[in-house]
Amino acid sequence: MSGSSSQPEEKRSFVAESAGAIWYGDVMHGPRVIVDGKPRKVYLVSLFDDASRLVTHSAFCLGETALDIEGVLKQALLKRGRPIKLVVDNGAAYKAGTLQALCARLEIHVIYCRPYQPAGKGKIERWHRTVRDQFLSELDAARIGDLADLNARLWAWLEGIYHRTPHEGLAGLTPLARYQQDLPKIRPLGQLAAQLDAMFHHRIKRYVRKDGTVSYLGARFEVPYELAGKTVRLVVDPHAGVVVGVENEAGAMLGLATRLDAHANLHRVRRKPDPEPPAPGPRSGPNLVEMALARYHGKKGD
């Protein structure tokens, strides 16, 4: 019997040559916390350095969307520089166009694991087990008031315990010590740091109403009035829920967008169309037509 399909696929364990070479991204289902007075399930979104086992950033989020992943990635970049490769699964959130474009601008090569064969992600799965066994099992639920409380404890445990505990896979080194060995090899953000906020902005098409407003997240924003009746791109910071401004399809900024204040508008002096030019007034000096009329009728009466 011949055929390559009967042959087992060769799989071997590997470790990245240095810290910053490969990061893994994954999501773990977390506990329930109180959000706006109601219990909500949360998800642990993590980015994990292969060579050092250091967690570049991790946070419990209300979802596992591309936006949640982008938020974690932004913090990881600020703290730990740029990886060369980012290995993730084939989930829709990781394939979002905004995330792909962002990684391309940052020169991060995104690699997608084949479905049902998450080769190489064993280390982050072990990280998830560590979270369950050493962090979640120790939580005092009575002290967790909201999502911020949960994340505050996660980050304290990460920096104070996990990163400083010797790891058997690192020849007894701690993840932090192993990571620090390769600091000269880490790709810093450099000049990109000043542009990072703008790089994470989203662009959303919006039609400008006749009153010069557009909508975003259930709120209305005023844009330059001359854009009324046109379609523009609304530039937003989705992580902060802030509208930055409006631009055209070419990316040129057209102006700011400010939250609509209907009460203030009641008393605002509105711009009016330019007035029609005044009709020409009577000419100064003698009116030749009237003089001719007077002379003509005067002669007839003689």
Nearest Cα residue to 157 out of 137, 184, 181: 137
Q: What is the pTM of this model?
A: 0.78
Final residue before a domain boundary, out of 133, 163, 189:
189
CATH of the domain at 143: 3.30.420.10
Q: Is residue 232 part of a domain?
A: yes
**21 lies in the same domain as 52:** yes
Report residue 101 as tokens.
Answer: 């474009």
pLDDT 10s digit of each residue in the chain, 302 long? 444 444 444 344 446 789 999 999 999 999 999 998 899 999 999 999 999 999 999 999 999 999 999 999 999 999 999 999 999 988 899 999 999 999 999 999 999 987 655 555 688 889 999 999 999 999 998 899 999 999 999 999 999 999 999 998 899 999 999 999 999 999 999 999 999 999 999 999 999 999 999 999 889 999 998 999 999 999 999 888 889 999 998 889 999 999 987 555 544 454 555 566 666 665 666 677 777 777 777 765 55
Strand runs (DSSP E) across 36-78, as ranges? Answer: 38-49, 55-61
CB-based contacts of 106, cutoff 8 Å, min separation 6 = 77, 82, 192, 199
Within the chain, strands assigned E span 22-35, 38-49, 55-61, 85-88, 109-112, 202-207, 213-216, 219-222, 231-237, 242-247, 253-256, 258-259
CA angle 22, 24, 26 (to 5 degrees): 175
The whole domain housing 136 covers 13-189
Q: Can you read off the two tokens belonging to residue 27?
A: 């999501």
Which residues is 40 bridged to in the sheet?
A: 33
**Six token digits for residue 302:** 């003689």
Q: φ and ψ at 221, to 5 degrees?
A: -130, 140
Residue 180 shares a structural domain with residue 37: yes
Does 33 map to a domain? yes
Query: CATH number of the domain that 210 lies in?
Result: 2.40.50
pLDDT of residue 267: 45
CB atoms within 10 A of CB 24: 27
Question: Which of 175, 166, 136 lies closest to 153, judged by CA?
Answer: 136
State the total domains in the chain.
2
Cα 126 from Cα 6, distance rounded (Å):
30
CA atoms within 13 A on the CB side of 88: 25
Cα–Cα distance measured from residue 258 to residue 241, given in angstroms and rounded to the nearest whole number? 13
301 occurs within a structural domain: no
Nearest to 131 by CA among 152, 162, 164, 160: 162
Tell me, yes or no, whether 289 lies in a domain: no
Are 270 and 282 in contact by the 8 Å Cβ rule? The answer is no
Residue 277 tokens read as 């030019």
- Domain boundary (135, 166, 189) is at 189
Taking phi over 0 as left and psi of -120 to 50 as alpha, with beta for the rest, 144 belongs to beta
| Sign of the Cα pseudo-torsion (69, 163, 151, 128, in order) | positive
Residue 278 one-letter amino acid: P
Contact 220, 53 (CB under 8 A): no
Residue 177, in any domain of the structure: yes
User: 10 Å Cβ neighbour count for 162?
Assistant: 22
